[in-house]
Structure 1
Amino acid sequence: MKSRIALLTLIILIIGFLGFFNFPYLAQTVPTSLGFTTVDLPLGLILMGLTALMTIVFIAYVIAMQGAWLLEARAHAKEMHAQRELADKAEASRFTELRAAIESLHQEEERRLMDRMDTLEAHLQARAQESDNSTAAYVGQLEQQLRHTATAPAPQAPRL
C-alpha cells in the first residue's frame, strides 16, 4: 500500500516539476479544436487543469472508499462483538445446565446411598435382634439345664 502511494506521489511531483519549469510553454495560446469549432486557448494549462481535476477526483474517490471500508469494518466489528457475547452467554448457559445436571446426579446418587444405608441398617438391626433372641434362648436353655441338674439327685460315687 505504501509503495503505491509513493509511486502516485512521485508521478504528481514530476508533473508539477515539469509544469513549473515549462510554464511559459504551457501558457502559450495555440489553436485548439473543440470538435465543432476552433479557438485559441493555452492547451498546456487546460491539460494541467484537467490533470489536477482528475487527481482531486481520484483522491476524493479513494477517501470515499476508505470511509466506506472503515464503516463496514466497524459494523462488522460490532456484529462480531455481539456474536461473541451471544456465544459467551450460550456457553455460560451450558455451564449452568451442566452444573444443574451434575447436582441432580449427585442428589440421585446420594439418595440411593442413603436408601442402601437404611436397608443395611435395618438388616443389621434385624440380625442384632436375631442374635439377641438366640443368645436369650441359649441362656434360657442353660438356665433350664442348670435348674434341672440342681433338682436332680447327685450321682453317687461308685463303691469299690
Structure 2
Amino acid sequence: MAAPSAPRPPRPRKEPQPLVIPRSAAEEQRLRLERLMRNPEKTVPIPEKLNEWAPRPPPEFVRDVMGSSAGAGSGEFHVYRHLRRREYQRQDFMDAMAEKQRLDEEFQKKLERNKMIAEEQTAKRRRKRCMLWINAVIVCLHLSAEKSGCGN
C-alpha cells in the first residue's frame, strides 16, 4: 500500500478577465498585442510558411493501358475524365508557376533598375556638393588674398 501523500497546496486563482468583444479589426489586434505583452518573456508562436501545393506527379508505370482496338466500357469514361482532369490541373499549375517566375524576374529587374537610378542620383548630388565646397574654398582663398593685399 502506498504511503499517504501530503495534501496539495491550493492553486493560485487567476483573476477573471472581463469579456471584451472587439468591434473592429484594429481593436482585435490591440487586444491580441496586449495579451502578448502581458508576459514579454514568453515566446510567441510564429507559424512556418506552408509548402506550396503541387500536383501529384504522373505514375512511372501505368498498369491499366487502354488498347486501341478494345471497346470502351462504361467505367472507362470516368477513368478518362479523371486522367484528363489531372492533366489539365498539371498544365494549369505549370502555367501558374511560369507566370509567377516571370513576375519575380520582372520585379528583380525593376528593383535593380531603381537601385541604379538611385545610385546615379546620389553620385550627381555628391558631385554637386563637392563642387559647392570647392567653390566655397576658392571664394574664401580669394577673399583672404584680397584682405592680405596679395594678388592684383
| TM-score under structure 1 length normalisation | 0.47
Q: Which has the higher contact order (CA 8 A, sep 6+)?
A: 2
Rg comparison, structure with higher value: 1
Bigger helix share: 1
Structure with the higher strand share, 1 or 2 = 1
